[in-house]
Homo-oligomer: A and B are copies of this chain.
Amino acid sequence: MARRYDPERRQRIIDAAIRVVREKGLAGLSHRTVAAEADVPLGSTTYHFKTLDELMVAALRQANESCAKAVAAHGALDDPRGDLAADLARILGEWLSGDRAGVELEYELYLAALRRPALRPVAAEWADDLTEQLSRRTDPVTARALVALMDGIFLQVLLTGTPYDEGYAREVLGRVMS
């Protein structure tokens, strides 16, 4: 890998893309908006990412990694004796109350995979990673169901505006684990 004049250029563009999606939504993402946000010329974004899909893949992957890191750092999933349902419900709560915009961003990129085949592998990767993390505390079938249920609860909260009810989440997550 040859050196660059600005070795951080590519990374700065990805960061800028994430900020743009955070603030203006995926529809506001374009080579130009990203270039402006990253304070680089237009040609620079098109050079590093020939197509917008490429840029979205990079952004989604980075968002996934930072999320996964946050979950792992939480450490709630390490103790095989704890109440997994309660732990998950608490994590969801912290996530929703803490960085709502971040969650919306993550889900917007995630859901964009529905129409953009290029994003599908990355989205699948995310679901698989999470499932695998949960598999350390329960069987794979249950883990998959837990991920599905968490996704669904998230959607209900984000789409309908219903406030998050941690007790409810703990209850139904617990049922899935029975």
Using CB atoms and an 8 Å cutoff, list the residues of chain A in contact with chain B.
25-27, 104, 107-108, 110-111, 113-115, 120, 123-124, 127-128, 141-142, 144-145, 147-153, 155-156, 158-161, 168, 171-172, 175-178
Contacts and interface: CB of A to CB of B under 8 A. Distances in A.
A145 B141 contact: no
A175 B108 CA distance: 29
Nearest to A153: B148
Contacts of A25: 115
A12 to B, nearest CB: 25
Contact of A178 (B111, B150, B178): B178
A155 to B, nearest CB: 5
Given A107-B114, A175-B176, A141 B124 contact: no
